Structure 1
Amino acid sequence: MPSPRAILFRLHWALGLTAGLILAVVGATGALLSYEEALTDWANPDRLTVATREAPPLALSDLTQRIEAQRPGQRVARLTLQDDPAASVTIRFARDPATRQRPDSVFADPYDGAVLGPVRGEALFDTVLALHRFLLLPGDGNGWGRQITGACAIALLVFLVTGIVLRWPQVHRLRIWLRPSLSRPGRARWWSLHAVAGTWLLPVYLIIALSGLTWSYGWFKDGANALLVGGAKPAAMGKRAKAGPEGPPALDAVWTAFHDGEGRNAARAQILLPEEGRQPIRIRWFSRDDDRPAARNEARYEAATGTLMSAERAADQPLGKRIAGNMLEVHRGRFFGAGFALLFCLAALAMPGFAATGIALYLLRRRAAGRRTARKPLVPAPAE
């Protein structure tokens, strides 16, 4: 009967040879997604800015109409605006009702509505995201890919627990826990690097695994929200309001009310338009004083009249609610600041390294076991 330590060891390497390889792919893609916005800006320098005019920018209703006229059959779903007269507007379109595919986002000139071109790199990052979340398997969120990546997030938690138990030393010293012994030969060197790096990055991987599970399992997300928000239900989205007599939502009235009220100090705003005029118009915005991803504010306006329905400021919310409402930024590390975002990116990049060192340790162990078997003397059969 193997000992409990032997069972944990076999579980650790068995998961490493299976889930560890998938986590290597998830880690590499996650590191790339960590800086999606910065890389997208780098790829689109000529479309991020426009020539300023003496005339004011177009009203948002006119802007959306001109953009949709240049893109027949496509409906504007989101506008991202900057508090900069030389900044272009980023336009995201609604999904096609028949195919459920989303057209390419574009940059547009806020002064005349001219489409400046598609967002370079968006298709690449969409593919990277699908690989990260669903391994490019059919069905996306409803397919096997989501279940596999969710199971691998659980495997990551098992790695953390079994890894600490297996390396628990008889003598506790910081040098043993936190300093790799790279001068040791062969398998001992790889083990030290694998174990010490895992110890350093354990808190980061714990946050990554727990936050990642909220996209894989609804029951886990509900439990996390209940724990973080204290069992309170999410903020109501407001009463569903039908559009006014002419049909379109009161976009200009909403933007005026936002500028005169909640958004007086906004540096960047995302306007999420309603579907078929039956949902509130939502504006997510960041202030000039604090534009961190964790400091996202949100206001909701009645689509038909432009009346403010509700407003939530990040500074007024308890920590648990801000974490629950910004789980993606927690997962990426940006919730904790730019330094932590870089740390999370490096930790994600290290996942292929853990897979490589784990496989090297497994192969070296198998080779050593083979040599011991070859050197073992044969026991002669007893004489009859």
Structure 2
Amino acid sequence: MPFVIPSLRTVLFRLHWALGLTAGFVLALMGLTGALMSYEEAVTAFANRDRLVVIAGDRQALPPSILAARVSAQAGFPVNVLTLSDDPAASVHVRFARHPATRARPPAVYADPYDGAVLGPVRLEGAFTTVRDLHRWLLIPGGSRGWGRTITGACVLALLVFLGTGLYLRWPKVHRWRIWLKPSLSRPGRARWWSLHAVAGTWLMPVYLVMALTGLTWSYPSFKDGATWLLVGERDAAKPMRAAGGKAAPEAPADASGPSAVDRAWAAFRAGEGRAAGTAILTLPDADAKAIRIRWLPKGIDRLSARNEARYDAATGALLAAGRAADEPLGQRLMDNILEVHRGRFFGNLFALLFCLAALALPGFAATGLTLYVLRRRAAARRQPEAVSATLRAAKP
């Protein structure tokens, strides 16, 4: 029997369903976990609503260094990050430094900003950490350096192949908006499932393209470097920040200490750059740090893509440089907030909901694709005896 070279359409069709039977199920799992993480902040806030508030009264908030010391004394771990609010009734979110040997981070806690009392751990933090690890590397040992990251990265590449082959396979001979955008649910059997699968994929193709391209920045560092070069330019030009009056920070006094420098930096921030801050994330410097980093959001804004940043000298607390998100070019903002782009929040709440629904739809594509595969195999099995019978009848004299 002569070898018949399959057509391009046949090759792409087989590639599409072969990836669907393998990478499709991993993508379905990544879609479910991604949808769970889409509203992690809102779910966590609801679960910890009793620990998010404190009674302010006429009390004065502690300086950051004293607050960190009191929390550290109770928890037994050095404090790394304090998330502070301008709301006098809001508690402080506290993150601890990673263990130097294991690189594990102790569970975060909420604390009273007025006396440093620990109000309790952050509920659901461990659950979302597990969901995140499942999403990124399938909980396979080795974490970001193991096979899990390789598998999920390959599946993200497969998603791009799905988009390309799916678009080619459904390209109609006659172009009408109904053919492209409206599913034919009244059609019987396999045609109905194919229409639903193809039309939904067309609607969500731009979302999946953004998800895939941003997801590759975590899977392949070289891809991230290329995206950074394309959107930002040279590395040295990244994250431009406005220097404080163009002058270098003054020399540290002989008796300057880390904690007092943190408090001076915080006081300078609240009196200067942070006057309009609603939420501020203060990263405490370690022994080798040269700068104290404060990222902040303006009052009434909760979009992480709107974060501004100020840096202060770790020895003196003097302002070194400051930068605002609104002053950065779009490419820089995209790369600085790649996670927010990945889950749609960079574009606003409506797009965040759309991205969440698109992630939830990935198991649906796996299910409809599997249904189409099974129905096709059954149809082929029914046709085979009929073809054999026809051949035998044709062979009779």
CA contact (8 A) 2:256 2:315 kept: no
Counterpart AA for 1:124: A
CA contact (8 A) 1:243 1:277 kept: no
Encode CA deviations 1:261-286: one digit per residue, 9 max, x unaligned: 11110011111122324242111111
Residue 225 in structure 1 maps to residue 223 in structure 2: no
Encode CA deviations 1:301-345: one digit per residue, 9 max, x unaligned: 111111212211011111111101100000010000000000000
Gaps of 5+ in 2: none
What RMSD, in angstroms, separates the aligned Cα atoms of the two structures? 2.1
Which residue of the other structure, out of 21, 34, 38, is the alignment partner of 2:38?
A: 34
Q: Output the CA distance in 1 between the equivalents of 2:11 and 2:295.
A: 50
Q: CA deviation at 1:294?
A: 1.8
Q: Output the CA distance in 1 between the equivalents of 2:235 and 2:100.
A: 34
Which residue of the other structure, out of 100, 104, 118, is the alignment partner of 1:115?
A: 118
Q: Output the CA distance in 2 between the equivalents of 1:235 and 1:377.
A: 70
Aligned to 2:258: 248
CA contact (8 A) 2:216 2:224 kept: yes
Question: How many residue pairs end up in the alignment?
Answer: 382
CA contact (8 A) 1:213 1:220 kept: yes
Which residue of the other structure, out of 52, 56, 59, is the alignment partner of 1:52?
A: 56
Instruction: Label 1:345 to 1:315 Cα distance change in 2 as closer, same or farther (>3 A).
Output: same
Q: Output the CA distance in 2 between the equivalents of 1:23 and 1:218.
A: 21
Give the secondary-structure state (helix, strand or coil) at the position aligned to 2:273.
coil
Counterpart AA for 1:90: H
Give the secondary-structure state (helix, strand or coil) at the position aligned to 1:268.
strand
Aligned to 1:188: 191
Q: CA deviation at 1:247?
A: 4.9
CA contact (8 A) 1:90 1:106 kept: yes
Q: CA deviation at 1:82?
A: 1.2
Counterpart AA for 2:166: G
Q: Output the CA distance in 2 between the equivalents of 1:286 and 1:169.
A: 48
Aligned to 2:95: 92
Q: Output the CA distance in 1 between the equivalents of 2:32 and 2:290.
A: 37
Q: Output the CA distance in 1 between the equivalents of 2:145 and 2:254.
A: 36
Q: CA deviation at 1:231?
A: 2.9
Residue 105 in structure 1 maps to residue 105 in structure 2: no
Give the secondary-structure state (helix, strand or coil) at the position aligned to 2:185.
coil
Counterpart AA for 2:364: G
Give the secondary-structure state (helix, strand or coil) at the position aligned to 2:275.
coil
Instruction: Label 1:244 to 1:172 Cα distance change in 2 as closer, same or farther (>3 A).
Output: farther
Residue 175 in structure 1 maps to residue 185 in structure 2: no
Instruction: Label 1:262 to 1:371 Cα distance change in 2 as closer, same or farther (>3 A).
Output: same
Q: CA deviation at 1:245?
A: 5.1
Q: CA deviation at 1:236?
A: 7.7
Q: CA deviation at 1:101?
A: 1.2
Aligned to 2:169: 166
Which residue of the other structure, out of 127, 130, 151, is the alignment partner of 1:127?
A: 130
Q: Output the CA distance in 1 between the equivalents of 2:194 and 2:47.
A: 40
Counterpart AA for 1:19: A
Give the structure-1-normalised TM-score: 0.95
Q: CA deviation at 1:292?
A: 2.1
Which residue of the other structure, out of 339, 363, 384, is the alignment partner of 1:352?
A: 363
Aligned to 1:212: 215
Aligned to 2:385: 374
Structure 1 runs, 4 residues or longer, greater than 4 Å off: 236-239, 241-247, 380-383
CA contact (8 A) 1:277 1:304 kept: no
Residue 17 in structure 1 maps to residue 27 in structure 2: no
